[in-house]
Protein backbone atom coordinates (compact mmCIF):
# COMPACT_ATOMS: atom_id res chain seq x y z
CA UNK A 1 0.00 0.00 0.00
CA UNK A 2 1.45 3.39 -0.84
CA UNK A 3 1.96 6.03 1.78
CA UNK A 4 -0.77 8.30 0.49
CA UNK A 5 -3.41 5.58 0.64
CA UNK A 6 -2.25 4.58 4.13
CA UNK A 7 -2.53 8.20 5.23
CA UNK A 8 -6.04 8.54 3.78
CA UNK A 9 -7.19 5.33 5.48
CA UNK A 10 -5.70 6.22 8.85
CA UNK A 11 -7.16 9.75 8.71
CA UNK A 12 -10.58 8.26 7.95
CA UNK A 13 -10.23 5.79 10.83
CA UNK A 14 -9.27 8.60 13.20
CA UNK A 15 -12.14 10.74 12.02
CA UNK A 16 -14.71 8.00 12.51
CA UNK A 17 -13.48 6.83 15.93
CA UNK A 18 -16.33 7.83 18.25
CA UNK A 19 -14.94 6.70 21.57
CA UNK A 20 -11.57 7.10 23.29
CA UNK A 21 -11.18 3.31 23.19
CA UNK A 22 -11.76 3.17 19.41
CA UNK A 23 -9.28 6.01 18.90
CA UNK A 24 -6.69 4.20 21.03
CA UNK A 25 -7.12 1.11 18.81
CA UNK A 26 -6.38 3.22 15.72
CA UNK A 27 -3.29 4.68 17.42
CA UNK A 28 -1.98 1.20 18.25
CA UNK A 29 -2.63 0.00 14.69
CA UNK A 30 -0.56 2.89 13.29
CA UNK A 31 2.05 3.83 15.88
CA UNK A 32 2.18 0.73 18.13
CA UNK A 33 5.07 -1.73 17.99
CA UNK A 34 3.42 -3.72 15.18
CA UNK A 35 1.73 -0.62 13.72
CA UNK A 36 1.66 0.23 10.00
CA UNK A 37 3.46 3.58 10.41
CA UNK A 38 6.03 2.04 12.75
CA UNK A 39 6.72 -0.65 10.11
CA UNK A 40 7.36 2.08 7.51
CA UNK A 41 9.73 3.89 9.88
CA UNK A 42 11.67 0.64 10.32
CA UNK A 43 12.20 0.30 6.53
CA UNK A 44 14.26 3.50 6.59
CA UNK A 45 17.16 1.58 8.22
CA UNK A 46 17.63 -0.52 5.03
CA UNK A 47 17.42 2.38 2.56
CA UNK A 48 20.24 3.85 0.56
CA UNK A 49 21.19 7.39 1.54
CA UNK A 50 19.51 8.81 -1.58
CA UNK A 51 16.34 6.84 -1.04
CA UNK A 52 16.28 7.91 2.59
CA UNK A 53 16.62 11.53 1.55
CA UNK A 54 13.42 11.41 -0.48
CA UNK A 55 11.43 8.80 1.55
CA UNK A 56 12.51 10.01 5.04
CA UNK A 57 10.60 13.30 5.03
CA UNK A 58 7.53 11.58 3.56
CA UNK A 59 7.45 8.83 6.20
CA UNK A 60 8.20 11.26 9.06
CA UNK A 61 5.57 13.61 7.66
CA UNK A 62 3.07 10.74 7.75
CA UNK A 63 3.96 10.00 11.38
CA UNK A 64 3.60 13.65 12.37
CA UNK A 65 0.28 14.19 10.66
CA UNK A 66 -1.15 10.96 12.14
CA UNK A 67 0.16 11.92 15.61
CA UNK A 68 -1.35 15.40 15.51
CA UNK A 69 -4.64 14.08 14.09
CA UNK A 70 -4.79 11.58 16.99
CA UNK A 71 -4.08 14.35 19.53
CA UNK A 72 -6.72 16.65 18.09
CA UNK A 73 -9.32 13.89 17.94
CA UNK A 74 -8.53 12.83 21.50
CA UNK A 75 -9.11 16.38 22.74
CA UNK A 76 -12.42 16.50 20.83
CA UNK A 77 -13.60 13.22 22.34
CA UNK A 78 -12.58 14.32 25.85
CA UNK A 79 -14.45 17.61 25.50
CA UNK A 80 -17.51 15.77 24.25
CA UNK A 81 -17.30 13.37 27.19
CA UNK A 82 -17.00 16.27 29.65
CA UNK A 83 -19.97 18.06 28.08
CA UNK A 84 -22.01 14.87 28.28
CA UNK A 85 -21.24 14.55 31.99
CA UNK A 86 -21.94 18.22 32.66
CA UNK A 87 -25.32 17.82 30.95
CA UNK A 88 -26.35 14.67 32.80
CA UNK A 89 -24.66 14.82 36.22
CA UNK A 90 -26.44 17.92 37.42
CA UNK A 91 -26.45 19.17 41.04
CA UNK A 92 -29.35 21.51 41.78
CA UNK A 93 -27.86 24.09 44.11
CA UNK A 94 -31.30 25.54 44.82
CA UNK A 95 -32.45 22.35 46.62
CA UNK A 96 -32.57 22.59 50.44
CA UNK A 97 -29.76 20.77 52.28
CA UNK A 98 -30.77 17.20 53.12
CA UNK A 99 -31.97 16.48 56.67
CA UNK A 100 -29.11 15.53 58.98
CA UNK A 101 -29.87 14.15 62.45
CA UNK A 102 -29.49 16.97 64.94
CA UNK A 103 -29.18 16.61 68.70
CA UNK A 104 -30.51 19.05 71.29
CA UNK A 105 -29.32 20.44 74.60
CA UNK A 106 -31.22 18.77 77.46
CA UNK A 107 -33.41 21.23 79.41
CA UNK A 108 -31.49 20.37 82.61
CA UNK A 109 -28.20 21.41 80.97
CA UNK A 110 -29.83 24.53 79.53
CA UNK A 111 -31.27 25.56 82.92
CA UNK A 112 -27.92 24.92 84.65
CA UNK A 113 -26.28 27.20 82.06
CA UNK A 114 -28.97 29.84 82.65
CA UNK A 115 -28.39 29.67 86.42
CA UNK A 116 -24.60 29.90 86.05
CA UNK A 117 -25.09 32.97 83.83
CA UNK A 118 -27.47 34.65 86.29
CA UNK A 119 -25.27 34.00 89.33
CA UNK A 120 -22.02 34.86 87.54
CA UNK A 121 -23.54 38.31 87.00
CA UNK A 122 -23.92 38.59 90.80
CA UNK A 123 -20.32 37.53 91.39
CA UNK A 124 -20.82 33.82 92.16
CA UNK A 125 -18.31 31.20 91.04
CA UNK A 126 -19.30 27.61 90.17
CA UNK A 127 -18.09 24.94 92.65
CA UNK A 128 -18.23 21.16 92.43
CA UNK A 129 -18.05 18.14 94.70
CA UNK A 130 -18.10 14.35 94.26
CA UNK A 131 -21.35 12.44 93.75
CA UNK A 132 -19.94 9.59 95.86
CA UNK A 133 -19.63 11.41 99.15
CA UNK A 134 -18.60 10.42 102.64
CA UNK A 135 -20.94 10.48 105.61
CA UNK A 136 -19.14 13.41 107.25
CA UNK A 137 -19.53 15.82 104.32
CA UNK A 138 -23.06 14.72 103.44
CA UNK A 139 -24.41 14.67 107.01
CA UNK A 140 -22.23 15.16 110.08
CA UNK A 141 -20.54 18.43 109.13
CA UNK A 142 -23.98 19.75 108.13
CA UNK A 143 -25.15 19.25 111.72
CA UNK A 144 -26.96 16.01 110.92
CA UNK A 145 -25.51 13.56 113.50
CA UNK A 146 -25.96 9.80 113.16
CA UNK A 147 -29.08 9.67 115.30
CA UNK A 148 -30.73 12.61 113.55
CA UNK A 149 -34.16 11.85 112.05
CA UNK A 150 -33.19 13.88 108.92
CA UNK A 151 -31.00 10.96 107.87
CA UNK A 152 -34.05 8.73 107.53
CA UNK A 153 -35.87 11.54 105.65
CA UNK A 154 -33.22 11.54 102.93
CA UNK A 155 -33.78 7.93 101.75
CA UNK A 156 -30.05 7.57 101.37
CA UNK A 157 -28.30 5.11 99.07
CA UNK A 158 -25.49 3.74 101.25
CA UNK A 159 -22.45 1.89 99.91
CA UNK A 160 -21.57 -1.45 101.60
CA UNK A 161 -19.51 -1.17 104.80
CA UNK A 162 -16.41 -2.68 103.16
CA UNK A 163 -16.27 0.35 100.84
CA UNK A 164 -15.78 2.75 103.74
CA UNK A 165 -12.95 5.28 103.25
CA UNK A 166 -10.93 6.54 106.25
CA UNK A 167 -13.53 4.95 108.53
CA UNK A 168 -16.26 6.98 106.79
CA UNK A 169 -19.31 5.24 105.37
CA UNK A 170 -19.78 6.27 101.71
CA UNK A 171 -23.10 7.42 100.25
CA UNK A 172 -24.47 8.77 97.00
CA UNK A 173 -24.86 12.40 98.01
CA UNK A 174 -28.48 13.15 98.91
CA UNK A 175 -28.15 16.89 98.25
CA UNK A 176 -25.61 19.43 96.97
CA UNK A 177 -25.12 20.84 100.50
CA UNK A 178 -21.86 18.84 101.07
CA UNK A 179 -20.32 21.20 98.47
CA UNK A 180 -20.85 23.96 101.08
CA UNK A 181 -18.54 22.01 103.40
CA UNK A 182 -15.98 21.24 100.67
CA UNK A 183 -15.85 24.92 99.71
CA UNK A 184 -15.57 26.27 103.26
CA UNK A 185 -12.81 23.80 104.13
CA UNK A 186 -10.80 24.49 100.97
CA UNK A 187 -11.01 28.23 100.44
CA UNK A 188 -10.82 31.38 102.50
CA UNK A 189 -13.91 33.55 102.91
CA UNK A 190 -15.40 35.70 101.51
CA UNK A 191 -17.16 32.96 99.56
CA UNK A 192 -19.82 33.27 96.88
CA UNK A 193 -20.50 30.01 95.04
CA UNK A 194 -23.21 28.03 93.36
CA UNK A 195 -22.90 24.26 93.02
CA UNK A 196 -25.11 22.55 90.44
CA UNK A 197 -25.06 18.77 90.18
CA UNK A 198 -26.63 15.34 90.46
CA UNK A 199 -28.07 14.06 93.73
CA UNK A 200 -29.61 10.70 94.66
CA UNK A 201 -32.49 9.53 96.84
CA UNK A 202 -34.27 6.20 96.92
CA UNK A 203 -37.62 7.58 95.74
CA UNK A 204 -39.60 7.23 92.51
CA UNK A 205 -42.94 8.58 91.24
CA UNK A 206 -44.23 11.27 88.82
CA UNK A 207 -42.39 14.04 90.68
CA UNK A 208 -39.45 12.07 92.17
CA UNK A 209 -36.67 10.15 90.42
CA UNK A 210 -33.82 8.30 92.20
CA UNK A 211 -31.38 10.72 90.53
CA UNK A 212 -32.22 14.38 90.13
CA UNK A 213 -30.44 17.72 89.99
CA UNK A 214 -29.99 20.41 92.60
CA UNK A 215 -28.23 23.70 92.72
CA UNK A 216 -26.74 24.95 95.95
CA UNK A 217 -25.84 28.54 96.77
CA UNK A 218 -23.49 29.67 99.52
CA UNK A 219 -22.35 33.10 100.65
CA UNK A 220 -19.94 33.50 103.57
CA UNK A 221 -18.71 36.96 104.54
CA UNK A 222 -18.84 39.42 107.43
CA UNK A 223 -22.17 40.93 108.42
CA UNK A 224 -24.34 38.82 106.12
CA UNK A 225 -28.02 38.72 107.12
CA UNK A 226 -31.44 37.51 105.93
CA UNK A 227 -31.94 40.67 103.87
CA UNK A 228 -29.01 39.67 101.63
CA UNK A 229 -30.58 36.24 101.20
CA UNK A 230 -33.97 37.63 100.25
CA UNK A 231 -32.51 40.14 97.77
CA UNK A 232 -30.34 37.47 96.15
CA UNK A 233 -33.20 35.01 95.75
CA UNK A 234 -35.57 37.67 94.43
CA UNK A 235 -33.02 38.91 91.89
CA UNK A 236 -32.27 35.35 90.83
CA UNK A 237 -35.91 34.27 90.44
CA UNK A 238 -36.87 37.41 88.51
CA UNK A 239 -33.97 36.87 86.10
CA UNK A 240 -34.69 33.16 85.78
CA UNK A 241 -38.42 33.49 85.09
CA UNK A 242 -37.77 36.64 83.05
CA UNK A 243 -40.55 38.56 84.79
CA UNK A 244 -40.57 41.57 87.08
CA UNK A 245 -43.79 40.52 88.83
CA UNK A 246 -42.29 37.47 90.57
CA UNK A 247 -43.41 37.62 94.22
CA UNK A 248 -41.62 35.69 96.97
CA UNK A 249 -43.02 34.44 100.24
CA UNK A 250 -40.59 33.36 102.94
CA UNK A 251 -41.95 30.79 105.40
CA UNK A 252 -40.22 29.67 108.60
CA UNK A 253 -38.95 26.13 108.20
CA UNK A 254 -36.38 23.71 109.51
CA UNK A 255 -33.08 22.40 108.13
CA UNK A 256 -30.37 21.14 110.52
CA UNK A 257 -27.70 23.20 108.73
CA UNK A 258 -29.45 26.59 108.70
CA UNK A 259 -30.79 28.74 111.53
CA UNK A 260 -33.14 30.37 110.97
CA UNK A 261 -34.39 28.31 108.02
CA UNK A 262 -36.78 29.64 105.44
CA UNK A 263 -38.71 27.93 102.73
CA UNK A 264 -39.33 30.14 99.71
CA UNK A 265 -42.57 30.10 97.72
CA UNK A 266 -43.18 31.97 94.46
CA UNK A 267 -46.58 33.33 93.57
CA UNK A 268 -48.45 32.22 90.46
CA UNK A 269 -51.49 33.37 88.51
CA UNK A 270 -53.96 31.08 86.78
CA UNK A 271 -54.26 31.93 83.08
CA UNK A 272 -56.53 29.74 80.89
CA UNK A 273 -56.51 27.10 83.61
CA UNK A 274 -52.71 27.00 83.68
CA UNK A 275 -50.41 28.14 86.46
CA UNK A 276 -48.07 30.92 85.34
CA UNK A 277 -45.29 32.29 87.58
CA UNK A 278 -46.01 35.90 88.59
CA UNK A 279 -48.68 37.52 90.73
CA UNK A 280 -49.97 35.96 93.95
CA UNK A 281 -53.14 33.93 93.29
CA UNK A 282 -51.44 30.86 94.71
CA UNK A 283 -48.04 29.79 96.01
CA UNK A 284 -45.53 27.16 94.96
CA UNK A 285 -42.59 26.05 97.04
CA UNK A 286 -39.34 26.40 95.10
CA UNK A 287 -36.41 26.68 97.49
CA UNK A 288 -34.99 25.72 100.85
CA UNK A 289 -32.66 28.22 102.48
CA UNK A 290 -31.50 29.92 105.60
CA UNK A 291 -28.59 31.44 107.49
CA UNK A 292 -25.72 28.97 107.73
CA UNK A 293 -25.80 27.33 111.20
CA UNK A 294 -22.96 28.29 113.58
CA UNK A 295 -22.15 24.62 114.05
CA UNK A 296 -21.61 24.20 110.29
CA UNK A 297 -19.27 27.18 110.14
CA UNK A 298 -17.41 25.78 113.16
CA UNK A 299 -17.17 22.28 111.63
CA UNK A 300 -15.35 23.88 108.70
CA UNK A 301 -12.77 25.49 110.99
CA UNK A 302 -14.14 29.04 110.73
CA UNK A 303 -15.10 31.33 113.60
CA UNK A 304 -18.88 31.85 113.54
CA UNK A 305 -18.51 35.09 115.48
CA UNK A 306 -16.55 36.51 112.54
CA UNK A 307 -18.08 34.78 109.53
CA UNK A 308 -21.77 34.50 108.71
CA UNK A 309 -23.62 33.59 105.61
CA UNK A 310 -26.64 32.15 103.91
CA UNK A 311 -27.24 29.04 101.86
CA UNK A 312 -30.01 27.85 99.59
CA UNK A 313 -30.79 24.75 97.62
CA UNK A 314 -33.35 23.97 94.94
CA UNK A 315 -34.22 21.34 92.35
CA UNK A 316 -32.97 22.15 88.86
CA UNK A 317 -35.41 19.71 87.21
CA UNK A 318 -38.30 21.34 89.05
CA UNK A 319 -37.14 24.81 87.99
CA UNK A 320 -37.02 23.55 84.39
CA UNK A 321 -40.56 22.11 84.68
CA UNK A 322 -41.93 25.39 86.06
CA UNK A 323 -40.35 27.50 83.33
CA UNK A 324 -40.74 25.25 80.30
CA UNK A 325 -44.00 23.46 81.16
CA UNK A 326 -43.15 19.75 81.38
CA UNK A 327 -45.37 17.85 83.81
CA UNK A 328 -43.71 14.46 84.32
CA UNK A 329 -40.22 14.41 85.79
CA UNK A 330 -39.60 10.81 84.71
CA UNK A 331 -39.64 11.88 81.03
CA UNK A 332 -36.47 13.91 81.71
CA UNK A 333 -34.51 10.69 81.97
CA UNK A 334 -36.27 8.40 79.46
CA UNK A 335 -34.01 9.40 76.56
CA UNK A 336 -37.07 9.55 74.25
CA UNK A 337 -35.91 11.36 71.13
CA UNK A 338 -39.37 12.91 70.49
CA UNK A 339 -39.34 14.49 73.98
CA UNK A 340 -35.77 15.70 73.47
CA UNK A 341 -36.61 17.21 70.08
CA UNK A 342 -39.64 18.96 71.59
CA UNK A 343 -38.19 20.27 74.86
CA UNK A 344 -34.48 20.36 73.97
CA UNK A 345 -32.60 23.51 73.00
CA UNK A 346 -30.56 24.41 69.98
CA UNK A 347 -26.86 24.16 70.76
CA UNK A 348 -26.44 27.74 69.57
CA UNK A 349 -29.01 29.07 72.11
CA UNK A 350 -26.33 29.85 74.70
CA UNK A 351 -28.09 31.60 77.59
CA UNK A 352 -27.04 35.21 78.15
CA UNK A 353 -28.60 37.92 80.29
CA UNK A 354 -28.51 40.38 77.40
CA UNK A 355 -30.28 37.92 75.09
CA UNK A 356 -32.82 36.91 77.77
CA UNK A 357 -31.50 33.86 79.62
CA UNK A 358 -34.08 31.49 78.08
CA UNK A 359 -32.86 32.41 74.56
N1 LIG B 1 -30.17 20.60 101.11
C2 LIG B 1 -31.55 20.95 101.27
C3 LIG B 1 -32.40 19.88 100.58
O4 LIG B 1 -31.89 19.09 99.83
C5 LIG B 1 -31.84 22.31 100.67
C6 LIG B 1 -31.16 23.42 101.39
C7 LIG B 1 -29.93 23.86 101.00
C8 LIG B 1 -31.77 24.04 102.49
C9 LIG B 1 -29.28 24.90 101.65
C10 LIG B 1 -31.17 25.09 103.14
C11 LIG B 1 -29.92 25.50 102.71
O12 LIG B 1 -33.60 19.84 100.75
Is 80 exceeded by the pLDDT of residue 150? no
Taking the C-alpha atoms of residue 230 and residue 249, their distance in angstroms, rounded to an integer, is 10
pLDDT reading at 359 higher than 60: no
Q: Is 351 in the pocket of ligand 1 (CB under 6 A)?
A: no
pLDDT tens-place string over residues 292-309:
999 999 999 999 999 999
- 338-355 pLDDT, tens digit per residue, is 999 999 998 888 888 877
Residue ranges of domains in the chain: 3-88, 107-343
Looking at the chain, the whole-number percentage of residues with pLDDT higher than 70 is 99
Q: What does the alpha-carbon distance between residue 136 and residue 50 come to, in Å, rounded to a whole number?
A: 116
Q: Which atom of ligand 1 is nearest to the CA of 288?
A: 8
Ramachandran assignment for 237, one of left (phi > 0), alpha (psi -120 to 50 degrees), beta (any other): alpha
Structure letter (DSSP) for residue 145: -
Confidence band for 249, pLDDT divided at 50, 70 and 90: very high
- What is the spatial distance between Cα 78 and Cα 189, in angstroms, rounded to a whole number? 79
Q: Please, which pLDDT band fits residue 358 given cuts at 50, 70 and 90?
A: low
Q: How large a percentage of the chain has pLDDT more than 90?
A: 74
| φ/ψ (deg, to 5) at 178 | -60, -20
Ligand 1 atom closest to Cα of 292?
Answer: 11
Domain 107-343 top-level CATH class: alpha beta
Burial class (CB in 10 A: 0-12, 13-18, 19+), 311: buried
Residue nearest to atom 10 of ligand 1 (CA): 289
Whether residue 16 is predicted with pLDDT greater than 80 in this model: the reply is: yes
Instruction: Name the residue with the closest Cα to ligand 1, atom 5.
Output: 313
Distance CA 190, CA 119 (A): 16
Q: What is the pLDDT of residue 178?
A: 98
Question: DSSP characters for 175-217?
Answer: SSTHHHHHHHHHSPSSEEEEEEEEEE-S--BTTB-SEEEEEEE
Close Cβ partners of 80 (under 8 Å, ≥ 6 residues apart): none
The mean per-residue pLDDT over the stretch 97-119 comes to: 91
Amino acid sequence: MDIETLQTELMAAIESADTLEALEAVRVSALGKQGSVSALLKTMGGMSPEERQTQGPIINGLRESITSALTAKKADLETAELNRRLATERVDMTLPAPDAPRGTIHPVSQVMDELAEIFADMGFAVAEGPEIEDDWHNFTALNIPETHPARAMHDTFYFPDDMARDGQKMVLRTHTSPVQIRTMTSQEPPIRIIAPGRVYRSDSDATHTPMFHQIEGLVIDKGIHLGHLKWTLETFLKAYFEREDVVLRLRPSYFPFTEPSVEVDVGYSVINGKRVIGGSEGWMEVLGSGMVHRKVIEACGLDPDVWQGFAFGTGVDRLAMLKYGMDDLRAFFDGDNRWLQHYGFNALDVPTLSGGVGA
